[in-house]
Amino acid sequence: MIQKGLDRQVVLYWYQERGRSFSNDYLGRYYMIRDALVMRRTDGAMVRVSQPVTTTPRAALAQEISFLRSLAPLLSRYIPGGTASGTVAALTPSPEEELLR
């Protein structure tokens, strides 16, 4: 969750490239360098979605996950080697999300 003044937002993000989904920035750099050397490709995507908290953080998170489940099949069209199942798998709750519950 991020906050500026009284405005709060729940933010989910991950990197997705060639069938891999992860949220670790360092892992993203590793894969970018590895793929540049091995595959001569550095393309991929960072997917970030934010939802304003209007009632509770839990409700905002639920709305965000619902939206992302609808979006998942579309992402695979635009991300190299992307699969809808990889995106949906990335939506399993993280330890941070568990704190909101």
* 3-36 pLDDT tens trace: 899 999 999 988 888 778 888 888 888 888 888 8
CA 56 to chain centre: 21
DSSP-based three-state secondary structure for 4:
strand
The domains of the chain are located at 2-92
Q: How far apart are CA 40 and CA 32, in angstroms?
A: 10
Bridge partners (DSSP) of residue 62 are none
- Per-residue pLDDT for 84 more than 70? no
Q: Following CA atoms 58, 60, 61, 67 in sequence, which dihedral angle do they give, to the nearest 10 degrees?
A: 150
Bridge partners (DSSP) of residue 42 are none
Count of C-beta atoms within a 10 Å radius of residue 65: 19
